[in-house]
A and B are shown apart, each in its own frame.
Chain A
Amino acid sequence: MAANIPTHAQVQGGIGATEPGISHDEHLHHDEHHEQNFLQKYVFSTDHKVIAKQFLITGIFWAIIGGTLSSLFRLQLGWPEATLEWLQPFLGKWIEGGKLNPEFYLALVTMHGTIMVFFVLTAGLSGTFSNFLIPLQIGARDMASGFMNMLSYWFFFLSSVVMFTSLFIETGPAAAGWTIYPPLSALPQAISGSGMGQTMWLVSMALFIVSQLLGGVNYITTVINLRTQGMSMSKLPLTIWAFFLTAVLGLLSFPVLFSAALLLIFDRSFGTSFFLSDIYIAGKALSNTGGSPILFQHLFWFLGHPEVYIVIMPAMGMVSEILATNARKPIFGYRAMIGSLLGISLLSFIVWAHHMFVTGMNPFLGSVFMFLTLIIAVPSAVKTFNWLATLWRGNIRLTTAMLFSIGFVSLFIAGGLTGIVLGNAALDIQMHNTYFVVAHFHLVMGSSAFFGLWAGVYHWFPKMFGRMMDEKLGYIHFWLTFIGVYLVFLPMHYVGIAGFPRRYYAWTGFDTFSQFADLNKFISVAAIVAFIGQFIFIFNFFYSIFRGRRATENPWNSTTLEWTTPVELGHGNWPGAIPAVHRWPYDYSKPGAAEDFIPQHVPYSQTQSSNLPYEKEME
């Protein structure tokens, strides 16, 4: 393994793979003359920028699928009495007599969750931006191992193919919820989705975990080992800190999910009883004894909880960067921002059982987890106040990316507050499994992370494709989405408090809920309108790749290293030597400076008018 990776990188025009003795300049000449065919350049590429775009476009594809599924089940929830005959050509046998098949409804919910959490907000978000920004912002020519990086994408691709295929099989896709709790997920007799669909789900997730690990070890190694001269850990942009810690979380938690999935596979296909015991189905007793379904929940949530931070932390990092750039102010509390990321990372591993307050756990244990959970409010609040303080009296430029970043902060606050409610065991027992929970995590994790993703795309699009996205369409996209998201999820808190349980196909059987039928219709309309609004973004994205206004090298007057690269980026990132770094990444509006930003690679000797007393020594 040790030898193969450099060799491979060399074949691909690999940068940083020179043998000792070949000088830097010679190597670059060699690189310029290197012709790559289409397959090498765009498909089996080891260039981190191409891999990032592959992750992004696959992520966009998955987001469309995930959104479509949610529109389908919102149709059912908003208009439970309506006939859905017109969907027959699309859904086939899952429409029975004009009605959506209830088991297929569960499959829709399951696949929506799986796709959004893993394929869009994990692979699509951190896969895209960790790949794109880590080498560019730390001043490296590529990832530590371009080959493993390529494998990471292709494992994700394979995993996507399996998951996508499972949507079309006869017994339907997995239907036991994205958390696939056994025994429901373990027994094909229990629900048709637990047959072939669940098997494919597990295979797909196993491939996905391999992809995440290959990517994650690469991100960590690159950040630790390949920083340019002067780029100490305390000069890293907050994006890199966020990606780095996200990768650490993935490295520690995904293997545990793999264990859980493996045991579940054995239970399903090899007759073991890790999670199964004393089960009767249709009056028939199963032979499995001795298993514990709660054990699965422990293993699952040991990943599952860090997973929500894997989803949100990259967005936090990018938002910090975009807010500082567009407020033309240094990020408030740089070190506190790093400290809070570290705090969140650490805490994320010791709070998993707050997802399990109602599993009959010892109340004392529950109170320990409750205590730890509520402590997460502290680093989260540190971040929130720092973002607000960064905005305070800034010279704010409302670019689309900035709007989405501010939207992120808003959603994170709105969703985070209900997290404090749900973190309390006593309240959670009441709210558990209601729409209150759905509203909470869709705001704080789902929508927030999506806003971070959009902010990142709008902000770094010029570096990715050398062109700008259209700002007017961006504004329309932002306001539609921002208002839409609140209109969908604020009412959900209300129906949640009223006791609406999650994952129900219809509430028409309960008189209590009949007065909320209008509210549910309202939520459905808002959700479907907001979803359709996303096609504005998709149009803007693809149109701008080919027809957008040409970008300049540093369109946002930003300080970080990626903006020192040319507009047309080749493999290797910098045509000449990699710039060395002299200062932190947030020298915006520094008093006495000629311009309102000083890039990281500008030495103090060139900025004597603005140097602070302690910086004079470094001139």
Chain B
Amino acid sequence: MHSSEALNTKQPATGIHPTRFLLILMIVSIFMMFAGLSSGYIVRRNEGNWLEFDLPAGFIYTTLLIVVSSITLQWAWLAARKDNLAQVRTALVVTFALGVAFLVGQWLLWGQLVEQRVFFGGTDANPSGSFLYVLVGLHGFHIITGLIFLIKVLRKSFQYQVHSRQMLSIGNVTIYWHFLGALWLYLYLFLLLNH
């Protein structure tokens, strides 16, 4: 909500654009939700009656996908800084594709879990498996919101609204996407150490 007027009469504040600040606060709340779930996970695990199973090996591939997608988005951001719009669009499309591939991968891994007889619900389910589905699913839901955000920025780039003097939206989507990537890395490590 920048306005020349607001800037003139405002107390010098954080130097962060309010919209970006809003985004950061939302990231904090998403983080708290996962913090709640993972601490619940640990508390529950320590109480015993916990089905042990091997995490499907495929998670390493989806992890790689999300890491690479962060790199390509960073590439888009750098290209926008240099006003190289063609590269911005390419990089955004690649990031989007990698994001979709990540989601598809997670979905397939759910199928693999079912084949391993690790269920979400029902008589044979154990909280250890249910938690895995919830963590992956909730993270996947946020990836979908990230993909929608990517599309919006891509559309803006076609309207010439993403360039070195309008870095707000691409900066925001980069922050959000990096957060989602980092969140997945955290969840993956957490599950590897605590499954």
Contact = CB atoms under 8 A, between A and B. Distances in A.
5 contacts: A144-B22, A217-B26, A226-B13, A256-B32, A274-B40
B191 interface: no
Given A6-B1, A287-B123, 18 more contacts: A1-B149, A2-B168, A24-B5, A24-B8, A217-B26, A225-B14, A225-B21, A226-B6, A226-B13, A228-B11, A229-B10, A231-B11, A253-B32, A260-B40, A266-B130, A266-B134, A292-B43, A302-B36
Given A5-B1, A20-B4, A23-B5, A226 B36 contact: no
Interface residues on B, range: 35 or more
A21 B5 CA distance: 9
Contacts of A19: 3
Contact of A290 (B23, B25, B49): B49
B107 interface: no
B152 interface: yes
Nearest to A6: B1
Contacts of A259: 33, 36-37, 40
A230 B49 contact: no
A16 B5 contact: yes
Which of B2, B18, B156, B161 has most chain A Cβ within 10 Å?
A: B18
Given A217-B22, A290-B126, A263 B6 contact: no
B57 interface: no
Contact of B25 (A16, A20, A220, A302): A220
Interface of B: 1-6, 8-11, 13-14, 16, 18-23, 25-26, 28-30, 32-33, 35-37, 40, 43-44, 47, 49-51, 120-123, 125-128, 130-131, 134, 138, 149, 152, 156, 161, 168-169, 172
A24 B8 CA distance: 10
Nearest to A24: B5
B121 A270 contact: yes
A221 interface: yes
A58 to B, nearest CB: 23
A271 interface: yes
A213 B26 contact: yes
Contacts of B169: 1-3
Contacts of B120: 266, 270-272
Nearest to B2: A20
Contact of B19 (A2, A18, A224, A227): A2
Contacts of B40: 259-260, 263, 274, 295, 298-299
Interface string A258-297: 1110110010001111100100000000010111100100
A486 B88 CA distance: 67
Given A224-B14, A287-B123, A251 B32 contact: yes
Q: Which 10 A-B pairs have the closest CB atoms?
A: A271-B121, A256-B36, A24-B5, A255-B33, A217-B25, A255-B32, A287-B123, A259-B36, A18-B3, A227-B11
Given A266-B130, A270-B120, A229 B9 contact: yes
A11 interface: no
B5 A18 contact: yes
A336 interface: no
Contacts of B149: 1
A355 interface: no
A221 B18 contact: yes
A232 interface: yes
Contact of B1 (A17, A270, A299): A17
Contacts of A289: 49, 126
Contacts of B44: 274, 292, 295
Contact of B130 (A230, A274, A277): A274
Contacts of A290: 49-51, 126-128
A578 interface: yes
Nearest to B128: A290
Contact of B35 (A20, A139, A227, A256): A256
Nearest to A221: B21
B40 to A, nearest CB: 6
Which of B3, B51, B169 has most chain A Cβ within 10 Å?
A: B3
A232 B59 CA distance: 49
Contacts of B36: 255-256, 259-260, 299, 302
B161 A3 contact: yes
Given A217-B26, A220-B25, A145 B11 contact: no
Given A20-B4, A23-B4, A145-B22, A226 B130 contact: no
A141 interface: yes
Interface string A198-211: 00000000000000
B10 A227 contact: yes
B18 A251 contact: no
A43 interface: no
Contact of B172 (A1, A141, A222, A230): A1
Contacts of A227: 10-11, 13
Contacts of B123: 271, 287
Interface string A134-176: 0000010100110010000000000000000000000000000
A262 B22 contact: no
Interface in A210-251: 213, 216-218, 220-222, 224-232, 251
B49 A232 contact: no
Contacts of B10: 225-229
Nearest to A25: B5
Contacts of A226: 1, 6, 10, 13, 18
Which of B1, B16, B19, B32 has most chain A Cβ within 10 Å?
A: B1
Contact of B13 (A224, A299, A580): A224
B3 A16 contact: yes
Nearest to A212: B29
B29 A217 contact: yes
A291 B41 CA distance: 11
A580 B10 CA distance: 9
Contact of B156 (A3, A27, A252): A3
A276 to B, nearest CB: 10
Contacts of B156: 3
Contacts of A1: 19, 23, 149, 152, 169, 172
B162 to A, nearest CB: 10
A271 B122 contact: yes
Given A21-B4, A258-B33, A299-B36, A272 B121 contact: yes
Contacts of A277: 49
Contacts of B43: 292, 295, 298
A24 to B, nearest CB: 4
Which of A227, A277, A289 has most chain B Cβ within 10 Å?
A: A289
A187 to B, nearest CB: 15
B33 to A, nearest CB: 4
Interface string A14-42: 00111111111001000000000000000
